[in-house]
Amino acid sequence: MWQYFQPVKVIFGTDSIDRMAEAIVSTGGTKGLLVTSPSFVKNGTADRLVKLSGNKISDIFRDVTPNPDVRECDACIELLRRGGHDFVVALGGGSVMDCAKAASALYKGPSELTATDYLQGRAEIPAAHLPLIAVPTTSGTGSEVTSVAVLSDHSIGLKAPISAESLYPAIGIVDPRLTMTTPPKLTAATGMDALCHSIEAYWSRHHQPVCDALAIHAARLILDNLATAVANPDDIKAREAMAEASTIAGMSFAIPKTSAPHACSYPLTNQLGIAHGEACGLTLAHFLRFNAAHGCDRINTLATSLGYDSAEHLAAAIDTLAATIGLRRDLADLALSPEQIEALVQGSKHPNLRNNPADISENDLRKMYLTLSNSTVD
């Protein structure tokens, strides 16, 4: 038995941002808050969006940083309450999306609760939420079509996802032109994140046929276009393909969820400061080989669907792609201590690990991190 659910209306295409006013009308909103980062205020994109809204966006929360902290989310919620806003627009990459999605739902909870309460599982995420229009400026997270938001509590070194149907945006406006100024390094990392979304969705223990088809479509687009988008940022065709891939990959994992590469990415980011997409990609080929070697026949099916002879050829192609676009392939330069490696092992035991098709032991994780660190495996 399986089911598929996707409540987000997606408006996709070059210059689709011009339909902002129409999108706002469809939500019934009259007074909106724009959630974004300082760079989009500085380059004028935020002001452009305010004008396109017919000035229905009345305020801007511009304090979102990479890997948004729960305190940023709390500040955004406070601004929503103080301003009496009835809709939210998110303009930015994954961090902006995460903060806006969380704030639009947690706003509906009791005022005495903080984002930390929800992140640590002490409170249930409200079922009600403010309508959110998500406008991604990177091609990677697919957050405009998922019910997941990732928050951090930097004071205790915690980064984790929260998930609920109330975190789905109402509308996603995906305009590839907004990704044209994304720097090559960020294009590479976010594109690898999208590739992880699609492949992890396909092999997830909760896979289903609709998401399988979406995953294959997204993965093929990324493998064919990511290197071009990194090398030639002004190539609009490559940018369009990557924007489509990101959204479709988001749809592909919205139900099956992610697995081992994402579970391992959280300590790699929290403890070592490696960007999320790069952290996910660091272990993708490893787990592809691991799953194929541990009886997951779907890995070879995925490989042939993508035009490769075997799982090993697909893994090798991913390794080559990562090297071509300048993403790290190991941890050797960090000279990690045994204590740091052990912290990575323990930090990787995230619930997402259980979605992996093959069981992964603590020793399996330890061997992987030792290999990535070019250390000797006893």
Q: Are 127 and 117 in contact (CB under 8 A)?
A: no
Task: With a cut of 60, say whether residue 376 has pLDDT above it.
Answer: no
**Mind giving me the DSSP string for 195-252?**
HHHHHHHHHSTT--HHHHHHHHHHHHHHHHHHHHHHH-TT-HHHHHHHHHHHHHHHHH
Q: What is the pLDDT of residue 73?
A: 97
CA distance 363 to 360: 8
pLDDT digits (tens, 9 = 90+) for 274-287: 999 999 999 999 99
Residue 57 has pLDDT above 50, yes or no: yes
d(C-alpha 229, C-alpha 167), whole Å: 30
pLDDT at 125: 97
**Residue 90: beta bridge partners?**
35, 134
**Same domain membership, residue 236 and residue 111:** no
- Supply the pTM of this predicted model: 0.94
Decide if pLDDT at 324 tops 70.
Answer: yes
Strands 87-92 and 132-136: what pairing?
parallel
Domain presence at residue 303: yes
Q: Are residues 136 and 209 in the same domain?
A: no
β-strands 87-92, 32-35 pairing? parallel
Angstrom distance (rounded) from CA 305 to CA 328:
27
pLDDT at 233: 96
pLDDT in tens, 189-233: 999 999 999 999 999 999 999 999 999 999 999 999 999 999 999
Q: Is residue 378 part of a domain?
A: no
Residue 191 placed within a domain: no
How many independent structural domains does the chain possess? 2
What is the arithmetic mean of pLDDT over 14-39? Answer: 97
Confidence band, pLDDT 50/70/90 cuts, at residue 375: low
CA geometry: angle 302, 305, 311, nearest 5 deg:
45
- What are the Cα distances from residue 362, in Å, to 15, 286, 298, 375? 48, 15, 24, 17
Same domain, 270 and 142: no
| Domain housing 131 | 9-178
Mean pLDDT of the chain: 96
Any domain includes 343: yes
Q: Largest Cα–Cα distance of the chain, in whole Å?
A: 65
Q: Do 221 and 294 sit in the same domain of this protein?
A: yes
Helical ranges in the chain per DSSP H:
20-27, 38-42, 45-52, 70-83, 94-106, 115-119, 184-203, 209-231, 236-253, 260-272, 276-293, 298-305, 311-324, 338-347, 362-372
- 192 assigned to some structural domain: no
Enter the tokens of residue 360: 């992964």
